[in-house]
Amino acid sequence: MQTIELLKNKYPEHNFDFREYPKYFLGHCPEHDDKHPSFTANKNGYYKCWSCGFQGKVKDGEFEELTAEEKEKIAAERERQKQIFKNNAEFYKSLVQSHKSDTALEYLSKRINLLEILKKSELVRINLDKNFIAFPYTTPDGLTIGRIVARKIYEKKIFKPDGTDIANTNTINAFYLHNAVHRLKQNNKGIVIIVEGEFDALALEQWQLKDVSVIAVAGTSGFSKKLYNLIDYLKSLNAIVLLCPDNDEAGIKVLPNFKSELMVELPEGIKDFGELFFKNAGDSEFDALEIFKNLRKDNIGKVLKEREQIERKRQKQEIKDNIERLSDVLSMDDINNILSAQGVKFKDEKIECDTKGAKIDNVNVWTKTLPPQRFIFAGFKAKKVGIFAGTGGVGKSYMALQFILSFADKTKKMNYLNLFGSVRGKAGYMTNEDDLDDLEHRLQQIRKYYIQKYDTDVRKINPRNYEFETIAKILTAKRKLVRLTKGEYKIDQDIYNYIRDFCKEKEFVIFDTLARSHSLKVNDPGDMGFLIGIFEDIAKETDASILILAHTNKADLEGKDKVAGAAQITDNARFVMTLKSHKESKDVKTLEFHKASYSKPSEPLFLKWQPADPHNQDIVELFDLTIPNDDFEDKNISIKRGRPRIKNKNFQYEDDDFDNIGDD
């Protein structure tokens, strides 16, 4: 633009650092020490500093003084702005604070459950007559209100109250802006998150994070290119600015306007920034800072490109799935004709590897420093697939739940059977066998036991470190992860993705149970090898360690096919352990470690199960019979040479070899 070039020529030593907007350029004023950009030059040739008043115009390539009429027009605009600020302030003062309105309190308690903060806040106010909540959009100093955004109680729409107006677009203002500016100036740095709604801006205030502030810009309309005014101002105060529009269609549409900026990516299923924090309001153990740290922050352009690639892959997979369904009744020529009519071209593609193999460096391999190997517990290496097998009803699921809680307890106070070492992290338990109420019942019994026996409440384990989920209604008799159709394996991609997504960002996952996940032949080595391979693929994709619960064959089931088929499961798994009952005393069990591909298998554990509470038979505690315990007395059991004996008989178990792992 000619005006910009002339200004740069007139002030060659000055760095305007102009940024272009739809109707004007914004930069640093050449007539005073302008630390924060306040000098604008529009495309009609007019320029002005909104801080010191320096102004003028360019006409026909020459600088000119403003005419009296132009100066009068600018002065009138300045007076109009002053009047807007005055009217907004007077209107705001006429409102009452939110906690003085019973209707507002009832609404706010349902909406955000942040009444204590609102009672202390002087910002959020109420119009008692017309029943709306008002949010002031202040300038950086907090003394001037650039606009007032109102929301009717129990309605979503925002509006401009009568008697108020919106300041000039060059006026920087936002809800809670002065709070963010105060923190930035106090700390000389910080993070500022820009969101759509005022409630989202209030979400983080209950935890008062020192270096993180949230400001609102009144919906997606606030995410226009004019927002760069605010972004530039915040950056001039050493702020890291993160954009976080709502996770909906409108919010996604505004992102391309800011490809060079950073964003906070909300987890799938979370509507907006506030939803992450409102539901945990009042929970003293909720760590808001850790939740925020775990959110992905990345360049918007990069995120949009990744989303585009994912959508392209999804569409491509959808086309291929449709072709598979049609191929049973139509020829490929017919399918191609249908696709061509829809403007889609399909051709059989050769399978290509997305990645190259990894080769050993023969020179450095002998001397390079390697990271220590990580084990979930003794013998079970991280990022591998293992098997935990036993007959139905032996207690695998109950034991598996305590494995998950022990691994999730980063304080290491909970260490079930002393199996776990120093490695702790996020864990998950997914069952296709139990309904939700069954799962909840078991977890409550576990909690009662630990309170009774160890005075330890499992609720103190960080709830973000573990996840329990049942997919019993997803994996049904008609729908499986994998089935055999006309001699070909068919993987249900939706179920595969569901299990894979559950495993993401978790280091240890238990899947209960293998038998219900497929409709393959358990006796067939190829079928079982393919099935375990699916879980290995998920482990490689997510870096999760997956321990699969499986059944052992009953002692009276014999046959080479049964053994061979089951053997393929244990051959492919990197870790195998079993839980077995004694023939004569079902309360006496052994936890035996048969296979550990990356270390020596641990010695077996001999366990006695008995009620921890005589009034509650559901709470069961385990005694390791190889370790003396004053709380356990049973005259029928004695320990000789490290192995239990019952009624002077050798301690033997049901005759089922661990290779016979499969279905009941």
Give burial (CB, 10 Å; 0-12/13-18/19+) of 565: buried
Q: What is the pLDDT of residue 135?
A: 87
Q: Which residues of the chain have pLDDT under 50?
A: 113, 348-354, 555-565, 618, 630-633, 635, 638-643, 645-664
pLDDT at 339: 64
- Separation CA 346–CA 205 (nearest Å): 53
Q: What is the pLDDT of residues 606-663, one digit of tens each?
A: 887 766 555 555 455 565 555 555 444 454 554 444 445 444 444 444 334 444 444 4
SS (H, E, C) 158-226: EECCCCCCCCCCCCCCEECHHHHHHHHHHHCCEEEEEECCHHHHHHCCCCCCCCEEEEECCCHHHHCCC
DSSP β-bridge partners for residue 428: 467, 509
**What pLDDT is attached to residue 381?**
92
Q: Which of 257, 244, 260, 173 is nearest to 212 (CA)?
A: 244
CATH 3.40.50.300 positions along the chain are 375-625
AA letter at 350: K
Domain with CATH 3.90.580.10 in the chain: 2-66
Side chain identity at residue 34, one-letter code: D
CATH 3.40.1360.10 positions along the chain are: 95-304
Name the pairing type of β-strands 212-216 and 132-138.
unpaired
Domain spanning 375-625 has what CATH number? 3.40.50.300
Q: Which CATH number fits domain 95-304: 1.10.3720.10, 3.40.1360.10, 3.30.420.130, 3.20.20.140?
A: 3.40.1360.10
Q: 225 is written with which tokens? A: 């290119």
Q: What is the pLDDT of residue 426?
A: 94
pLDDT value of position 245: 92
Alpha-carbon distance of 434 to 442, in angstroms, equals 10
Provide the H-helix boundaries in 381-503. Answer: 396-408, 436-454, 493-503
What does residue 129 show for φ and ψ, rounded to 5 degrees?
Answer: -70, -45
DSSP 478-510: S--SEEEETTEEEE-HHHHHHHHHHHTT-SEEE
Give the per-residue pLDDT at 403: 93
Q: Which CATH class is domain 2-66?
A: alpha beta
> Which residues sit opposite 244 in a β-bridge?
195
532 Cβ contact list (under 8 Å, min separation 6) = 385, 548, 568, 569, 572, 573
pLDDT tens across 263-320, in order?
Answer: 988 888 888 888 777 655 555 566 777 777 888 888 888 888 888 888 888 877 777 7
